Structure 1
Amino acid sequence: MHSNYLFVGFVLRPFQVSTPPEPPFRWVARDDLASLDLPRATQVLGAYLFSLVPELAPALQPAGAVEPGLRLALLERMERDQAVRMVAADVRAAPQHREQWRAIDEANTAWVKDLLADRISFPGQSVIGTDGVQALWLMVQHADHDRELQSRCADLLGRAVTAGEADPQHLALLEDRLACAAGQPQWFGSQFHRRPDGGLEPAPLQEPALVDEFRSWVGLDSLEHYAERLARLP
């Protein structure tokens, strides 16, 4: 939303911005609209567009019957995904374990790619349950050798989030993953790397002073608390 112009946009992936807009704009939530210093006409238009969201959302919901079999398959694959990662550092560094890790990720990626090949939407909570959506997102998040799949899934996941069928935190973390892979700053600070001294620090941030605000928009806690949790992982 531009601060001085009658220009309001409704998007599925609000942090997928290819070039800096002119004049500068910001993303706003419905509850923030009335508190902004904007022309009255802009506020009225913004409020009207927000009122359309409940009507637009059903059109974005995943199609198809509930699929309990698919949910179970996803949960089984997520269990393998996590088991190979949640081990002690010395085990994780072993060549044999790294090969097992790679094989699991590649098998899961191929399976997800086949699953989504003919789908026009990301299977949502009403189709595979909240835990099923989490499992599917997690495998996409770890499909780093297939950025094309991750990018397509970000589009599909954005629709599911807008429809209330997926967790916005998942989309935020996937967007960060894609941004860092492309050599761009991340918005939510979810991606970390190790310093030469072995400590963890976030990859470059798009707006360091606003990162906690961005994180709060999608229900994430502060970057400081997130970093503390990461430091405690094996």
Structure 2
Amino acid sequence: MEIDEKHRNRLKEIFKEYSFPTRKSVGKDAMNGIFLMIQHADMDKQWQKSQLKNIEKAVQNDDIDSQSYAYLYDRIQINNGQDQLYGTQFSKVDPLNKAVELTPTEDIDNLDKRRMEMGMMPIGMYKEFVFKSL
């Protein structure tokens, strides 16, 4: 975890000095890496939440895909004790029984509609994908 904090602090310095990068300036792989660092910054929830607007802007500028926004939004919601919106996070993954359970999700009846709007597969297909990877 210490290395994660070191890398996150360096990323903060870069953002402060140069602002949030674009795909044109750093490339697709670097943008994905930056997203993953933000997505997994659960030890720094305030900073993680502060980056949601940058990710939203990056989606609008086609620097990162909309699914990334959905994953980060849900993670932040869960980290703040609220229901997720896009069904990206699971509270239980049981490899032995190949079972997964979604973390509480807002308006579950319209979940697939929201997922489709973000370019994501329906939740049933996503669960099957997770099953196959167990």
- TM-score by structure 1 length? 0.51
* Residue segments in structure 2 that go unaligned for 5+ positions in a row: none
Query: What displacement does 1:124 show?
Result: 1.8
Provide the C-alpha distance between the structure 1 equivalents of 2:125 and 2:131, rounded to a whole number of angstroms: 10
**Could you tell me whether the CA contact under 8 Å between 1:124 and 1:165 is conserved in 2?**
yes
Indicate the structure with greater strand content. Answer: 2
What is the aligned counterpart of 2:113 among 210, 213, 226?
A: 213
Show the counterpart of 1:111.
Answer: 10
**Could you tell me whether the CA contact under 8 Å between 1:187 and 1:211 is conserved in 2?**
yes
- CA deviation vs aligned residue, 1:165-222 (integer Å, no higher than 9, x gap): 2211111110000001111111100011117997421111111011111111111111
Query: What displacement does 1:108 show?
Result: 2.9
1:228 equivalent to 2:128? Answer: yes
Indicate the structure with greater helix content. Answer: 2
Show the counterpart of 1:29.
Answer: none
**Runs of 4+ that moved beyond 6 A:** 195-198
- The two structures, once aligned, show a CA RMSD in angstroms of 2.1
**Could you tell me whether the CA contact under 8 Å between 1:141 and 1:174 is conserved in 2?**
yes
- CA deviation vs aligned residue, 1:24-61 (integer Å, no higher than 9, x gap): xxxxxxxxxxxxxxxxxxxxxxxxxxxxxxxxxxxxxx
Show the counterpart of 1:128.
Answer: 26
Query: What displacement does 1:137 show?
Result: 0.1
Provide the C-alpha distance between the structure 2 equivalents of 1:107 and 1:218, rounded to a whole number of angstroms: 32
Provide the C-alpha distance between the structure 1 equivalents of 2:43 and 2:72, rounded to a whole number of angstroms: 14
Query: What displacement does 1:119 show?
Result: 4.3
CA 1:123–1:190: 2 relative to 1, 3 Å = same
Higher relative contact order (CA 8 A, sep 6+): 1
Number of aligned residues? 132
Provide the C-alpha distance between the structure 1 equivalents of 2:93 and 2:67, rounded to a whole number of angstroms: 26
Show the counterpart of 2:48.
Answer: 150
* Residue segments in structure 1 that go unaligned for 5+ positions in a row: 1-101
Identical positions, percent: 28
